[in-house]
Amino acid sequence: MSSSGRCGAGRHGRDRRAQVLLPAPGRARLTGDVPSTAVVGGGIAGLAAATALAERGVRVTLYEREEGLGGRLAGWPVRLADGSRATMSRGFHAFFRQYYNLRGLLRRTDPGLTSLVPLPDYPLRHRDGLADSFAQVPRTPPWSALGFVALSPAFGWRDLAAMEPRAALPLLDVRVPEVYERFDGISAEDFLDRINFPRAARHLAFEVFSRSFFADPRELSAAELMVMFHIYFLGSSEGLLFDVPREPFPQALWEPLAGYLRGLGAEVRTGTPVHRVRTLPEGDLVVECEGTADRHQAVVLALDTPGLRHVVGASPQLGDAAWREDIAALRTAPPFLVSRLWLDRPVREDRAGFLGTSGYEGLDNVSVLDRWEGEAARWAARTGGSVVELHAYAVDEGAERKEVQRRIVGQLHEVYPETSDARVVDAVHEWRADCPVFSAGGYRRRPAVRTPHRRVVLAGDHVRTGLPVALMERAATSGFLAANQLLTGWGVRGQVLWTVPRSGRSRLLSALATRAARP
């Protein structure tokens, strides 16, 4: 691994400290009798794997159970009560500037990333009146972390003095994957208690990270929390600012990428769930769908957690007993709700495109889509209204769903009072419970890209990579790693990858953290 990159962080570059992971040497692409590979799952991980393979001459068939690509970033058409058409999705996603590999995937069809638009801030608000912003926080480590402390009303210097320095020092030099060995066994909540992290700042700052995993901080692995802190505060200079798609996910991202794959000769089969995978004595694999059985030389399982459990459970020839038990043990995070409201009047002009919220009885964030999404903006301009989206994460399994929907709309009226008089032209409430959960102590059993079968690999945001990546970037990175694993076996050079550094960037902070780790 070398450590080079273009200077300066931003939409079109990467942090100068970003690290490059070079693939194994090999030919540029396959020729002649090329192998056929099934990529099962058309989310980010599957699209990354399919792209890397097809670009190098592999015959790729991409299977996706839904009618559209994108996985948990898919979109689908809905008709509103006023007769207009709109695109519904599973909700807002932030494309952070540290998502080097995901952004590299999107550049296949959009070299300048013109399909993304930056939001000016990442504001946070607590119900008790505290508010934070990341717009003015310095982005160069370690000033990023110090700047957050200095500028945050939720984190005073007295709070800093009251923290347990020896216990807190590991935050300053997170090393991946070693951080999982040391801190995966405790929860994020317990770790923050251990270092005496101030309660107010915890709600505003660290809760954002745990909620990004759709998880309760009392259950989330402390190691995952620390990796997120490293990615955004001390491992890179891109900070916590991000971009969002200018149009709904299908139009902006996935339809162009599907066209790109087809142009490379890949077959894209949507609306085609895979039921199981069989192995043949000579080593090939058979992917079984409804009414079809296709023969391939390799398989990438790029499924979400329930999908992976289902396919592996129905494929008794795959893997060994220990691996299969680990797959069966994978869990999903609690249910979450995305409520999108089409209102007959605008919200106030100064409202942010995205606002993280805390203390509002389940409401975790509010997006005003017409601030940045073209489709929503056109509807708002035509009707004089606005399009607002609400998220509620980690909802109690036993909660009455209509009551949760009613409650978070009520919380919207508290956050943005002008919405209380608005008429709801239409509303779509989307409930899901298929995100991976990263519970304390679960890292050892999470699957890796490699499997016991040399021609079967895994990809997804639930897959271990050994790199400081998370969420959508983990999905993209794992997809490229899965492709690289197969390409190496065929003597072909794979995809170059980038990550933030695997350890802290400050020698002084690293030395202090190392000293704190000694008995």
pLDDT digits (tens, 9 = 90+) for 148-158: 666 666 666 67
Q: Does 1 score more than 60 pLDDT?
A: no
pLDDT digits (tens, 9 = 90+) for 67-107: 999 999 999 999 999 999 999 999 999 999 999 999 999 99
Q: How far apart are CA 438 and CA 441, in angstroms?
A: 8
Residues 6+ apart with CB under 8 A from 123: 131, 132, 133, 134, 135, 352, 354, 355, 356
H/E element, 95: strand 95-96
- Find where tokens 């926080």 sit: 137
* The predicted structure's pLDDT at residue 511: 64
Residue 507 — pLDDT band, cuts 50, 70, 90?
Answer: low
Residue with tokens 């915890």: 202
**What confidence tens digit (pLDDT) does each residue in 415-438 have?**
999 999 999 999 999 999 999 999
State yes or no: pLDDT of 4 exceeds 50: no
> Tens digits of per-residue pLDDT, 229-288?
889 888 888 888 899 999 999 999 999 999 999 999 999 999 999 999 999 999 999 999
CB contact set of 11 (below 8 Å; sequence gap of 6+): 97, 113, 116, 118, 243
**Greater model confidence, 359 or 162:** 359
- What residues form DSSP beta bridges with 178? none
Three-state secondary structure of 282-322: CCCEEEEECCEEEEECEEEECCCHHHHHHHHHCCCCCCCHH
Residue 350 has pLDDT above 90, yes or no: yes
User: Residue range 485-507: average pLDDT?
Assistant: 91
- CA-to-CA distance for 416 and 357, rounded, in angstroms? 12
Question: What does the pLDDT read at residue 59?
Answer: 98
Question: Which 3 state secondary structure label does DSSP give 424?
Answer: strand
Q: What is the pLDDT of residue 128?
A: 85
**pLDDT of res. 377:** 98
Higher pLDDT, 513 or 200: 200
Q: pLDDT, tens digit, for every residue of 117-153? A: 999 988 888 888 878 777 777 677 666 666 666 666 6
Q: Give residue 3's pLDDT band: very low, low, confident or very high (50, 70, 90).
A: very low
Residue 207: predicted pLDDT: 67
pLDDT value at position 512?
A: 62
pLDDT for 481: 98
Confidence grade of residue 5 (pLDDT, cut at 50, 70, 90): very low
pLDDT digits (tens, 9 = 90+) for 300-343: 999 999 999 999 999 999 999 999 999 999 999 999 999 999 99
Confidence of residue 515 (pLDDT cuts 50, 70, 90): low
The pLDDT, as a whole number, for residue 142 is 66
Structure tokens at 299: 């398989």
